[in-house]
Chain A
Amino acid sequence: MAEIRLHNLAHSYSAAPNAPQDYAIREMNHVWQQGGAYALLGPSGCGKSTLLNIISGLLSPSQGEVQFDGKAVNTLSPQERNIAQVFQFPVVYDTMTVFDNLAFPLRNQGMDEARVMSKVHEIAEVLELHPLLHKKARNLTADEKQKVSMGRGLVRDDVSAILFDEPLTVIDPHLKWKLRRKLKQIHEQFNITMVYVTHDQLEASTFADKIAVMYGGQIVQFGTPRELFERPGHTFVGYFIGSPGMNLIEVQRCEGGVRFAGTVLPLSDALNQRLAELDGKRLQVGIRPEFVHIWDGVYEDALCARVLHVEDLGTYKILTFDLDGQVLKARLQEDQPVPREQVYLSFPAQWLMLYADDYLVEVAP
């Protein structure tokens, strides 16, 4: 059990990195609190697995420190860090039975057989592996093997943290849901720090209390699923989280707000004040399709856009429209009337975010 702190951490796979793009992990500071359930969310190749391997000690960072409870552990091996890690593809010891597989990390620690027995049975119970305990691991199906791999990670309850590297990739969808619940239960039961790497936002938000979104070797936002949804700290978070992602419009500064083409979007006074400091930066406004307000019929103060098409997704509809040359989306509830050809809409000020060079412009509320 430990708090994991990443201090000025950076990593590059090339021997002599000089440009920022040579880095798989760009310099970062981050803290995983003891006992938290965290997700590390990001697209393929953003450095998630690299970061995980650095935490577990399979990889040594080119710069900075990994600290467990304030102590630097850079030079310690995974064994010494006492960390458990579950990999994307199942790793089982073929020649052993399921029982021996689960017992393996415990026996390597020199635990006595009676305790091994009870721990293995406990974890087999949770993962529903009991009927398989005496089967050779080689003869299992892929998802049974992955359950065994996970079991080997979960069986040690004294670990500093358990790291999951997209562990449910090979698992059937209906089992995925069950196993995620199981992990959550185990987390509540043992209060171990868990870091769960995934590229699936649903997986991340069902498992984790807080999500770190990674993009281009950096953690661009760290927050609860709700924060990520309501106030994306980076345009990538807006785009990556939510379905469909955030509407982003490139804008220029103007009197009283920002504008694109012929449309002026007024901003709050606080934001207008900040705008002055942001000269020379690339400005974007973003609003989630869920927060675009669609008026029923004609409304004078609203913006008028041309309807392009409507997708019916069952419980809701996605409206795609063209607003002054920008193709944007809005979400319509089931009972809302579907506009034809023209639509009147507005962007509620509280949900309209301003981004400068991709980062959210924060103002005091």
Chain B
Amino acid sequence: MATHIQPIDLADAGIAGETAAPPPVRRRRRLGSGIEVVLLTVFAVVMLFPVIWMLETALKETRDIYAVPAKVFSFSPTLEHLKDVFSSGSPVFSGFKNSVIVSGASTLIATVLGVPAAYAYSRFKIPFKKDQLFFILSTRFMPPVVVVIPIFLMFRDLDLLGTLQGLILVYAAFNLPFTIWMMKGFIDEVPAEYEEAAMLDGYSRLEAFWRVTMPLLVPGIVATAVFALIFSWNEFVYAIFLITDPANRTAPPAIAGLIGGTTIDWGLVAASAMVFAIPVLVFAYLVRRHLVAGVTLGAVRR
């Protein structure tokens, strides 16, 4: 009878009342948990420190940036460098404008071409479907430095070299495999029966697709487009090889160009990098539920 009113800890320890100390397994686990927290904190600090350091550098006065030993906490913040980024004469600012145009247009093209193609691959019988899909994916795994050689020659012949249109096309082709694979996953998840029901009601296949399946796909399309946007926003290799004119450069080469000279204004570099990175982080946060599929080109899904 008495055992029922004993504290749970003691009752747990086997024969009630015999052991005063908590069982050894428990203590080891608590200690282990403490180690885990410490480890996790260390990892988090290491992963986040560079980002925080860059943010600080962007907000520091120039003489504090080069201070030895480095000033981590004691500095007076200034918005000077951020103002420089947005001043009309800065090369980075026009880079941002071009980046918005290029990534926006290329994402639009990739989505408009990719979603119907993904639908067809998902729903219809197509000869050599698997081979086609695998081929489409494999174009993404070629080294950009290699692919850029023939594209460079082709664009030279077509007068597309150094133009934003050319870069938009390249990025669209670069994002298309991703869009098709990712969207195929989303479309596979929508039961084909919905469309078949609509077709029994008298809709044609096209209308069934447009009116029944399409509305269900909108969240997936948005997530896919956001990833395409991030990829083309961050892309660097094609951008430096296909565009040499500073006026047409996108942001990544423009920012990288800041360290080309003999003296480097690290405050400006840091501020540009931060301004460049913030939209990406916001977008990535918006699609965080689809990140696993997104970064593996739709190959791994939860």
The answer on A and B forming one complex is: no
List residues of A whose CB falls within 8 A of some B CB.
none
List residues of B whose CB falls within 8 A of some A CB.
none
